[in-house]
């Protein structure tokens, strides 16, 4: 059984709490109350360069709000705020972008913006919940993600959840005068279910 509390149903069975893991819970992403944290994270160039392939840049509050307004109501984007179970604080965000409903495939992205939560399993737990949501609630067949080859911490975190390396884009990224590879990882619904002991 995956992490999370169980809730009884009318048939006497248990359903998983889709939004609660062993370390974190997911909540609605509310730009109005989370913008200040995101603006702070934008000033952390290391976090930005690990998460993005575009040049590190800082956004104004107005620009962030405009971007969020464009995303609002998009039927292919599912964004969640990440909170540790022990504190009601906003530490990051995780998203699923459905690239194709007909092929049941999506891309995953995550950012843990608060450094004190790096390397402690919070990101892995949030990814685990996002994958569970994608397969159980959105009926996806596969979820993919991309990362930089030098981001070994993220690579190991994704492997823990069940993602496997599927491709390498050689020399696609320039960082501090050196070329780095980009990696593509993926997880299939049937492999995820098999790892849970389901058919």
Task: Report the Cα 178 to chain-centroid distance in Å.
Answer: 27
Q: Does domain 16-195 match CATH 3.40.50.300?
A: no
pTM of structure:
0.81
Three-class secondary structure assignment of the chain: CCCCCEEECCCCCEEECCCECCCEEEEECCHHHHHHHHHHHHCCHHHHHHHCCCCCCCCCHHHHHHHHHHHCCCCCEEEEEEEECCCCCCCEEEEEEEEECCCCEEEEEEEECCHHHCCCCHHHHHHHHHHHHHHHCCCCCEEEEEEECCCHHHHHHHHHHCCEEEEEEEEEEEECCEEEEEEEEEEEHHHHHHHCCCC
Q: Where are the domains of the chain?
A: 16-195
Summarised one tens digit per residue, pLDDT across range 62-82 is 666 666 666 566 788 999 999
pLDDT at 1: 37
For the chain, residues with pLDDT lower than 50 are: 1-12
| Among 155, 141, 142, 143, CA closest to 183 | 155
């Amino acid at each position: 059984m995956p992490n999370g509390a169980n809730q009884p149903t009318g048939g006497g069975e248990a359903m998983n709490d889709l939004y609660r893991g062993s370390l974190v819970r997911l909540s609605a992403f509310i730009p109005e109350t989370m913008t200040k944290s995101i603006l702070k994270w934008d000033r952390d160039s290391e976090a930005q360069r690990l998460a993005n392939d575009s040049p590190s840049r800082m956004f104004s509050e107005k620009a962030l709000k405009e971007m969020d307004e464009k995303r609002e109501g998009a039927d292919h984007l599912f964004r969640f705020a990440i909170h540790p179970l022990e504190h009601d604080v906003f530490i990051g965000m995780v998203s699923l972008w459905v690239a194709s409903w007909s092929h049941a495939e999506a891309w995953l992205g995550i950012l843990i913006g608060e450094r004190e939560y790096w390397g402690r399993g919070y990101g892995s737990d949030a990814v685990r919940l996002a994958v569970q949501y994608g397969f159980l609630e959105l009926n996806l067949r596969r979820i993919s993600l991309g990362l930089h080859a030098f981001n070994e911490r993220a690579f190991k975190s994704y492997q823990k959840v069940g993602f496997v390396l599927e491709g390498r884009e050689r020399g696609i990224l320039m960082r501090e005068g050196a070329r780095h590879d980009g990696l593509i990882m993926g997880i299939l619904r049937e492999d995820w279910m098999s790892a849970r002991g389901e058919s």
